[in-house]
Amino acid sequence: MKKIILGLFLILGALSFASPSFVDVNKIKQNSYEIYDDDDDFFTFVKSTDEAGISVTFTVIEGVNAKEVSDIIKSSTPDNQQFLSSINNKRAYVNKFANNENGGFTYNFVAKNTKIKDCYISVLYATDNELSNTELNNAVNKILNEVESYLK
């Protein structure tokens, strides 16, 4: 029995140290996100709300800027997503897509400014409804304010 308990503590200890040091995992979990991918240079967490499905990735990439990260994401979009437009908002580069299979819209935004050197914030915001410019700006600001608070 002691070996089992010790094993569980070792596993939980290893899991708690696997996250990047610049991420506040406890705060992410407190806000109802589920951690999806947990690597040193690629950390993803997701949540579904009444308004949208949200997927956030902190990616560490050296030698690029936020616009290039946004362009990389745009060029690697799945076939069921049709690119509609790019929007240059105050805080993020935004790409708008239509979902050809299920309907709805997906907005990808990459924060222009990084709180941590070479760590880029990319958000996928999937919703059933097309957002007006005001609604989109509000969503970008709300989500970026929230997820930037998870960085130490």
Contact 54, 46 (CB under 8 A): yes
Task: Domains for the chain: give ranges and CATH numbers.
Answer: 20-148 (3.40.1000)
pLDDT of 102 above 90: no
Average pLDDT over residues 20-39: 88
Q: Rounded distance, CA 114 to CA 52, Å?
A: 24
pLDDT for 12? 39
The residue among 144 and 9 whose pLDDT is bigger is: 144
Instruction: Tell me the β-bridge partners of 125.
Output: 54, 107
> DSSP code of 62?
T
Distance (Å, whole) CA 21 – CA 41: 10
State if pTM tops 0.95.
no
Nearest to 135 by CA among 51, 73, 14, 20: 51
- Give 33-80 pLDDT, tens digit per residue: 999 888 878 899 999 988 899 999 999 999 999 999 999 999 998 888
In the structure, what pLDDT confidence band is assigned to residue 137 with cuts at 50, 70 and 90?
Answer: very high
